[in-house]
Chain A
């Protein structure tokens, strides 16, 4: 036995035995999970970089493609909805308005869609190496945020071009909305990526659900239009008015709606005089609390489900 060997043996003898793989326990595992993830933050950085580097590798325009997609969407909505259907007439600075919504939506969409597929996409790693598997959906969040900030940059440039750069307290809505969006999207990505391993239908289901969610949020139409439709008029019966109010509350219960309106509060300077939902800040706060709780529950479900990932893939 050499010195290194003896040293190692002594060191190991002093260590306690630990269980291989993830620790069980629904509530008690939270801390361990968090610590595991924190230990692997550097790996997450590498995975994010891998994601970004490999996505447009070998394409001539490379990174520009991630910008071209939202710009194309902007153009379509601007011309089809804004000009042909006339939405631009009732919404000032229609291009800025749409791009604000699209920026928020793209982030949410990317995290949920790619996040859902992340575990299956990395099955080679999941089956061969033990890692806290949360790193895969989380690294998707990382790369999505990177793309998001590029888009925010474009958005800000556009606001400058039209001469209405957001200033002052409107910026307060931005961090709050962004946090809410990230919390919800991450929770969904964690949950769906785990379920997707067991049931591949989830991927398709997510696609459909996201399409509905897109139109259920004031991205290409304004909140003012929704409010006008759902407002109570003197001709209405009390019951109809009641239904309308419930529908309005239901519409506002959608966190994506709140996030999009929050974003518009920051970036859509021309819409300052447009109506906004009542108690927007409070709504965002409450949604955030619910979102954090949801994130915790989803992480615990993920931790429970991940035990059998390797054999299900």
Chain B
């Protein structure tokens, strides 16, 4: 039963035509040449997705990669240029909190209006009304016109309405990052509840940690195409690699366009290797409490003066756990040209069971990054299964 698909997206492409004219006069004047005044833009290209009931899918990608467009297509607001989108069950889309709130109406009137827009009948709204107001926590202001609300109150009320609609599919577009922390936690709890009730959730977000936390599947969109589709872990890896390559491109471009005679420091890592205290190399397995040596090899084509090497340890999702560099260690590196080898030794790593990756960075003392490798090498840590999480501790339990 688990794999009934509720959303089926087949070969969907979406083209936006960017017209530069809007008025009748312009159209008449430019008649016949109107193709000159059009720009095609493919927001999505050949997207194929099946989403099954009860799954929580994170839709991630850089800005402008087509995430929101895809969400709008699922909710039926936009029509695909090619392909088709099919659905099962009732759908509620939170593309913008409070879409349809009228500033001149009171909170109460807006709750009814908004609930009705989201597909709730008046009777159902009556039933949930108290719960909604309770959830929003703005009872004293419910009969005030919403134009006098603070933006936080506005969002609270809107979210309260939205979560009380009873959808089979919930589409959420970056609206979770609202409200204060306490309210955010309430929202996330509610979303967990939704998961528990077997609702399908499609989440567009830039909060990658949220994806790692909530989703059982992540889809990376890149220039309108699906770049990765799988476990959040795999997808985040792809996305972070993409971000890194974009950053490098930007650096490259900045160097090219800049007039100032920036001396580009030509240096990069040529190799990074790991070795445990017991001598294992490659993708080594670390026993608890064992030390790790990180050996780096780099090559500088221009002389490196005033520079630092840094390394770090991160979880597979990219959360940094540990980092150090030569500056923090109080080492001043000498002037360097050509190939050089350096080693860091990290003793007694108190890491919990799991996989970890090592990052390496080369910076000049003014803080500019010369080279950064987000996932330079990987290792795993063996545990005895007595704990979870990234940190290891000697735990004991006694009854006193």
Cβ of A282 < 8 Å from any Cβ of B? Answer: no
Using Cβ atoms and an 8 Å threshold, which residues of chain A touch B76? 20-22, 130
Chief secondary structure at chain A's binding surface: helix
Cβ of B116 < 8 Å from any Cβ of A? Answer: yes
Using Cβ atoms and an 8 Å threshold, which residues of chain B touch A125? 99-100, 117
Q: Which of A8, A19, A47, A307 contacts B85 (CB under 8 A)? A: A19
Using Cβ atoms and an 8 Å threshold, which residues of chain A touch B93? 128-130
| Residues A130 and B77 in contact, CB atoms below 8 Å apart | yes
Cβ of A162 < 8 Å from any Cβ of B? Answer: no
Cβ of A12 < 8 Å from any Cβ of B? Answer: yes
Q: How many Å lie between the Cα of A199 and that of B23 in the bound state?
A: 6
Once A124-B99, A308-B79, A311-B16 are accepted as A-B contacts, the answer to whether A12 and B73 lie under 8 Å apart by CB is no
Once A10-B1, A307-B79 are accepted as A-B contacts, the answer to whether A15 and B99 lie under 8 Å apart by CB is no
Once A20-B74, A130-B75 are accepted as A-B contacts, the answer to whether A2 and B198 lie under 8 Å apart by CB is yes
Q: Which of B116, B145, B168 contacts A42 (CB under 8 A)? A: B116
Tell me, rounded to whole Å, the shortest Cβ–Cβ distance linking B4 to chain A.
Answer: 4
Q: How many Å lie between the Cα of A16 and that of B102 in the bound state?
A: 36
Q: How many Å lie between the Cα of A197 and that of B27 in the bound state?
A: 15
Q: How many Å lie between the Cα of A163 and that of B93 in the bound state?
A: 58
Tell me, rounded to whole Å, the shortest Cβ–Cβ distance linking B299 to chain A.
Answer: 50
Cβ of A235 < 8 Å from any Cβ of B? Answer: no
Closest to A126 in B: B77
Q: Which of B54, B96, B105, B112 contacts A5 (CB under 8 A)? A: B54
Q: How many Å lie between the Cα of A19 and that of B88 in the bound state?
A: 9
Using Cβ atoms and an 8 Å threshold, which residues of chain A touch B197? 2, 4-5, 8
Using Cβ atoms and an 8 Å threshold, which residues of chain A touch B118? 129
Closest to A1 in B: B198
Cβ of A131 < 8 Å from any Cβ of B? Answer: yes
Q: How large is the interface on B (under 10, 10 to 19, 20 to 34, 35 or more residues)?
A: 35 or more
Q: How many Å lie between the Cα of A13 and that of B2 in the bound state?
A: 9
B156-185 CB contact bits vs A (8 Å, 1 = yes)?
A: 000000000000100000000000000000
Q: How many Å lie between the Cα of A216 and that of B237 in the bound state?
A: 70
Q: How many Å lie between the Cα of A161 and that of B389 in the bound state?
A: 86
Q: How many Å lie between the Cα of A15 and that of B7 in the bound state?
A: 12
Q: How many Å lie between the Cα of A53 and that of B112 in the bound state?
A: 14
Report the interface size for chain A: residues with CB under 8 A from the other chain.
45
Using Cβ atoms and an 8 Å threshold, which residues of chain B touch A126? 77
Using Cβ atoms and an 8 Å threshold, which residues of chain B touch A89? none
Q: How many Å lie between the Cα of A131 and that of B114 in the bound state?
A: 12
Q: How many Å lie between the Cα of A9 and that of B168 in the bound state?
A: 9
Cβ of A250 < 8 Å from any Cβ of B? Answer: no
Tell me, rounded to whole Å, the shortest Cβ–Cβ distance linking B187 to chain A.
Answer: 19
Q: How many Å lie between the Cα of A112 and that of B258 in the bound state?
A: 57
Once A42-B121, A46-B113, A53-B109 are accepted as A-B contacts, the answer to whether A8 and B199 lie under 8 Å apart by CB is yes
Interface residues of B in 37-92 (CB under 8 A from A): 53-54, 72-79, 84-89, 91
Q: Which of B73, B104, B198 contacts A58 (CB under 8 A)? A: B104
Q: How many Å lie between the Cα of A199 and that of B25 in the bound state?
A: 10
Once A20-B87, A129-B77, A129-B99 are accepted as A-B contacts, the answer to whether A9 and B72 lie under 8 Å apart by CB is no
Q: How many Å lie between the Cα of A17 and that of B74 in the bound state?
A: 13
Cβ of A232 < 8 Å from any Cβ of B? Answer: no
Interface residues of A in 21-58 (CB under 8 A from B): 21-22, 42-43, 46-47, 49-50, 53-54, 57-58
Closest to B145 in A: A57
Q: How many Å lie between the Cα of A199 and that of B105 in the bound state?
A: 31
Using Cβ atoms and an 8 Å threshold, which residues of chain A touch B24? 199, 201
Q: How many Å lie between the Cα of A21 and that of B2 in the bound state?
A: 25
Using Cβ atoms and an 8 Å threshold, which residues of chain B touch A7? 198
Closest to A128 in B: B99
Using Cβ atoms and an 8 Å threshold, which residues of chain A touch B16? 311
Q: Which of B23, B77, B105, B122 contacts A310 (CB under 8 A)? A: B77
B227-264 CB contact bits vs A (8 Å, 1 = yes)?
A: 00000000000000000000000000000000000000
Once A13-B4, A17-B87, A18-B87 are accepted as A-B contacts, the answer to whether A200 and B105 lie under 8 Å apart by CB is no
Using Cβ atoms and an 8 Å threshold, which residues of chain B touch A8? 53-54, 168, 197-199
Once A20-B86, A129-B117 are accepted as A-B contacts, the answer to whether A42 and B122 lie under 8 Å apart by CB is yes
Using Cβ atoms and an 8 Å threshold, which residues of chain A touch B99? 124-125, 127-129
Tell me, rounded to whole Å, the shortest Cβ–Cβ distance linking A35 to chain B.
Answer: 14
Q: Which of B91, B109, B196, B198 contacts A9 (CB under 8 A)? A: B198
Using Cβ atoms and an 8 Å threshold, which residues of chain B touch A6? 1, 198
Closest to B74 in A: A20
| Residues A15 and B89 in contact, CB atoms below 8 Å apart | yes
Q: How many Å lie between the Cα of A1 and that of B112 in the bound state?
A: 33
Using Cβ atoms and an 8 Å threshold, which residues of chain A touch B53? 8-9, 12-13
Q: Which of A13, A15, A200 contacts B23 (CB under 8 A)? A: A200
Interface residues of B in 126-159 (CB under 8 A from A): 145
Q: How many Å lie between the Cα of A15 and that of B89 in the bound state?
A: 7
Tell me, rounded to whole Å, the shortest Cβ–Cβ distance linking B78 to chain A.
Answer: 5
| Residues B22 and A200 in contact, CB atoms below 8 Å apart | yes
| Residues B85 and A9 in contact, CB atoms below 8 Å apart | no
Tell me, rounded to whole Å, the shortest Cβ–Cβ distance linking A45 to chain B.
Answer: 8
Tell me, rounded to whole Å, the shortest Cβ–Cβ distance linking A274 to chain B.
Answer: 42
Cβ of B220 < 8 Å from any Cβ of A? Answer: no
Q: Which of A2, A16, A19, A131 contacts B196 (CB under 8 A)? A: A2
Cβ of B95 < 8 Å from any Cβ of A? Answer: yes
| Residues A19 and B116 in contact, CB atoms below 8 Å apart | no
Closest to B89 in A: A12
Tell me, rounded to whole Å, the shortest Cβ–Cβ distance linking B274 to chain A.
Answer: 41
Q: What are 11 A-B contacts with C-beta separation under 8 Å?
A: A4-B196, A6-B198, A8-B197, A16-B88, A46-B116, A50-B102, A50-B113, A57-B104, A57-B105, A129-B75, A307-B79
* Given A11-B89, A128-B100, 12 new contacts (CB under 8 A): A12-B53, A15-B89, A20-B85, A21-B73, A42-B116, A42-B121, A43-B117, A46-B116, A128-B95, A130-B75, A130-B93, A310-B77
Chain A interface residues toward B at CB < 8 A: 1-2, 4-13, 15-22, 42-43, 46-47, 49-50, 53-54, 57-58, 124-131, 199-201, 307-308, 310-311
